[in-house]
Amino acid sequence: MQFGQLKRREFVALLGGAAVAWPLAARAQHPRRLSILHSGFPNRTPIHVLLAELRTLGYEDGRTAAIEVLGGEGDPDRLKALVSKLAGQSPDVIIALTDPAALALKQAGVATPVVFAFVTDPVGLGIVKSLAQPGGNFTGLTYGDALLGGKRLELLMDTLPGMRRVAVIWSRSIAAYSAIFDAIREAARARGIEIFSREFRGADDLSSAFDDAKVSGAQAAIFMSDNVTFGRRKEIAALALARQLPTMHSFVPEVDDGGFMSFGPDLDESYRRAAALADAILKGARPIDLPVEEPTRFILAVNLKTAAALVLSVPPAILARADKVVD
């Protein structure tokens, strides 16, 4: 009898232990829920790099993770509705791409950990307290640097030695662009270059903006796309080419799609680091303990097909410095 009672107690204890262990195992195997929020059109960006990196880290949609990609399509009301939806769903982590996406989540007070990328000035926007100590539930990557404006003008001057007047076609929808424009203007003043500023008011204003740049006598243009026009890269390249305006852009995909030149942070690096930060949070790290990262790699790209169409000869020194040449 004692032996039978002992066996029964052991069995009950074993069963109870299994009952405790099973939910833990089930939770460990439960797919993690990740939401990716872009204020524009994510399918028109290299977002596949982010998804591929997440798969490499073990987060495969439909198997080990449930990943949804949401786009605000440049519509503030749509973006607000998506943020409200995310606040109610409370995914395990949100990856916010672009200033408006991160800012909308911050202003809504979402409690979910947020990793942002392609945010120009997270401190100035009030998203984090500082880069070293972000505070709260937001961290991520910034790419804004006003000095890039001066560098882009310098590269354009080295490529087009006779250039004396440059158009800057830009949008105030990106907060940090004002500082970048100021840096371009200051660099131009120091080098005796005239600047024609043309702010565009949306995609429908692009053609008129390039017309105005050409009429101004500009010999080239620095184009700063916003979250909507970045998805219209081929159209923008065609507008510039039709007016025989060599253009300097911020990112490689703009050159891949016909822009003349670009200089800016490596997009792929930003996507990979965003995935790494999300992975760290999903494994237990707190955003408050993860400093905001800055770009470490910048890419100069040149499109020789566009150069030929513009009847331009790119100096060998520029080609030697280029990280990517499209030919």
Distances (CA, A) of 3 to 9, 10, 15, 16, 114: 10, 11, 18, 20, 57
**59 and 119 share one domain:** yes
Residue 20 lies in a domain: no
**164 and 205 share one domain:** yes
Per-residue pLDDT of the chain (327 residues; tens, 9 = 90+): 343 444 444 433 444 444 333 333 333 457 899 999 999 999 999 999 999 999 999 999 999 999 999 999 989 999 999 999 999 999 999 999 999 999 999 999 999 999 999 998 899 899 999 999 999 999 999 987 778 899 999 999 999 999 999 999 999 888 778 889 999 999 999 999 999 999 998 889 999 999 999 999 999 999 999 888 999 999 999 999 999 999 999 999 999 999 999 999 999 999 999 999 999 999 999 999 999 999 999 999 999 999 999 999 999 999 999 999 999
**205 and 274 share one domain:** no
**132 and 152 share one domain:** no
Residue 208 lies in a domain: yes
Give the residue numbers spanning the domain of 201. Answer: 147-265+298-326
Q: How many domains does the chain have?
A: 2
**126 and 189 share one domain:** no
CATH number (domain holding residue 157): 3.40.50.2300
Residue 13 CA to residue 305 CA, distance in Å, equals 74
Strand residues in 72-181 grouped as ranges (E):
93-97, 114-119, 138-142, 165-170
Return the number of other C-beta atoms located less than 10 Å from residue 325's C-beta.
15
Residue 22 lies in a domain: no
**123 and 158 share one domain:** no
pTM of the model: 0.83
Contact predicate 119/102, CB 8 Å: yes
**177 and 321 share one domain:** yes
Residue 131 lies in a domain: yes
**205 and 252 share one domain:** yes
